[in-house]
C-alpha cells in the first residue's frame, strides 16, 4: 500500500493495525494536508444493513467538533472496502505512556479532564463510544488528549452485544452490563473511563484474569484493589470518585460525565 494513491490520498506509511482495521498515514493531495486513513475489515459492512448502520454511526461521529476528539473528515470506499479519512494525530497512545509506570497526579487529573470533555461532547450528541481504553487515546507532544475511533461508536438504540460486535471492546475495559449483553448507554463509557483512570494512577488494570472467562468474572464480581494501596497522594474525594465510576451497577455510577 505504501506509495499507492487512492482517490486523492497518497499512502505514506502504516501506523497500526487492530481488530477494527488498518491505519495509514497519508497525504491529501487536494487540500495539501496530512491525514490518517482507517481501512475497515470487510465484515463491518458485509451487507447493506451493516453498511447503512456504519455510515449512520460515522456521520454522527463526523458531526463531533471537539478539541479532545479525533476529527473525522469523510467516509470513502475503495474496491468495496470502506475507509475513514480522519485527522492525523502525532503523538503516542496513553497506554504507551503508562508502560513506564503510574503517572503523576497532576498529569492524571489533566488527562482525565480532557478525556471527560471529549466524552461529554459525544454523549451530548447521543454517541456512546463502547471501546474506551488507553490504546484508543492519543497524547500529543503538547499533552493534548485525543479520543480516537468515534467513527466506530455505537449510537443509542441497538446497543446489545452480539457475537459480531463482541470483539469491538477490549475485555479488560468493558463494563459488567456490556459483558452480560444488557442494554448499554453512556454509563458504560463512564465505567471504561474509570478503568483508564485506575490504570493511569496505578500502572495496572483493576480487573485481571489468566483467560477471558476469568477476566469477565472478575469485572462482574470482584472489587479492584484500592488505589490507596498503590499511592498515598489521593484525597478522600478522589477515592470516592474512583470507587463510584467503577460501580458494577450502572445505576450506582455517575450518570453523566459532567457529574
Helices 105-124 and 186-202, axial angle in degrees (round to 10): 170
258: in domain: no
> pLDDT tens digits for 92-129?
999 999 999 999 999 999 999 999 999 999 999 988 99
Q: Which of 28, 32, 50, 131 is catalytic?
A: 131
Distance CA 146, CA 89 (A): 8
Query: In the prediction, which pLDDT does 153 show?
Result: 55
Q: 69 is in which domain, residue-wise?
A: 5-87
Q: The domain that contains 235 carries what CATH number?
A: 1.10.510.10
Q: Percent of the chain scored above 90 by pLDDT?
A: 66
247: in domain: yes
Query: In the prediction, which pLDDT does 151 show?
Result: 64
- Where does residue 51 rank: exposed (0-12), middle (13-18), buried (19+ CB within 10 A)? middle
Distance CA 187, CA 253 (A): 7
47: in domain: yes
Query: In the prediction, which pLDDT does 41 show?
Result: 81
User: What pTM did the predictor assign?
Assistant: 0.89
Number of domains in the chain: 2
Do 175 and 63 belong together in one domain?
A: no
Do 232 and 111 belong together in one domain?
A: yes
257: in domain: no
27: in domain: yes
What does the angle CA 88 – CA 191 – CA 152 come to, to the nearest 5 degrees?
A: 35
> pLDDT tens digits for 17-29?
877 789 999 999 9
Q: Report residues of the chain scoring pLDDT below 50.
A: 154-169
Is residue 131 part of the annotated active site? The answer reads: yes
Amino acid at each position: 500500500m505504501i506509495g499507492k494513491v487512492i482517490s486523492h490520498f497518497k499512502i505514506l506509511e502504516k501506523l497500526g493495525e487492530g481488530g477494527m482495521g488498518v491505519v495509514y498515514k497519508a497525504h491529501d493531495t487536494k487540500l495539501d494536508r496530512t491525514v490518517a486513513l482507517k481501512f475497515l475489515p470487510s465484515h463491518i459492512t458485509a451487507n447493506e444493513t451493516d453498511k447503512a448502520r456504519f455510515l449512520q454511526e460515522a456521520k454522527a461521529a463526523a458531526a463531533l467538533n471537539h478539541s479532545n476528539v479525533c476529527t473525522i473528515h469523510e467516509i470513502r470506499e475503495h474496491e468495496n472496502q470502506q475507509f475513514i479519512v480522519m485527522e492525523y494525530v502525532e503523538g503516542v497512545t496513553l497506554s504507551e505512556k503508562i508502560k513506564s509506570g503510574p503517572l503523576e497526579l497532576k498529569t492524571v487529573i489533566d488527562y482525565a479532564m480532557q478525556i471527560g470533555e471529549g466524552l461529554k461532547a459525544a454523549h451530548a450528541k447521543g454517541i456512546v463510544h463502547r471501546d474506551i481504553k488507553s490504546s484508543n487515546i492519543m497524547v500529543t507532544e503538547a499533552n493534548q488528549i485525543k479520543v480516537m475511533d468515534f467513527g466506530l461508536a455505537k449510537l443509542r438504540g441497538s446497543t446489545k452485544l452480539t457475537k459480531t460486535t463482541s470483539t469491538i471492546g477490549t475485555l479488560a475495559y468493558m463494563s459488567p452490563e456490556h459483558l452480560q449483553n444488557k442494554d448499554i448507554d453512556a454509563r458504560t463509557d463512564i465505567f471504561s473511563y474509570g478503568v483508564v483512570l485506575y490504570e493511569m494512577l496505578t500502572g495496572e488494570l483493576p480487573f485481571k484474569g489468566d483467560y477471558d472467562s476469568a477476566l469477565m468474572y472478575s469485572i462482574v464480581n470482584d472489587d479492584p484493589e484500592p488505589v490507596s494501596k498503590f499511592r498515598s497522594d489521593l484525597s478522600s474525594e478522589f477515592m470516592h470518585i474512583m470507587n463510584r465510576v467503577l460501580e458494577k451497577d450502572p445505576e450506582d455510577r455517575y450518570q453523566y460525565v459532567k457529574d
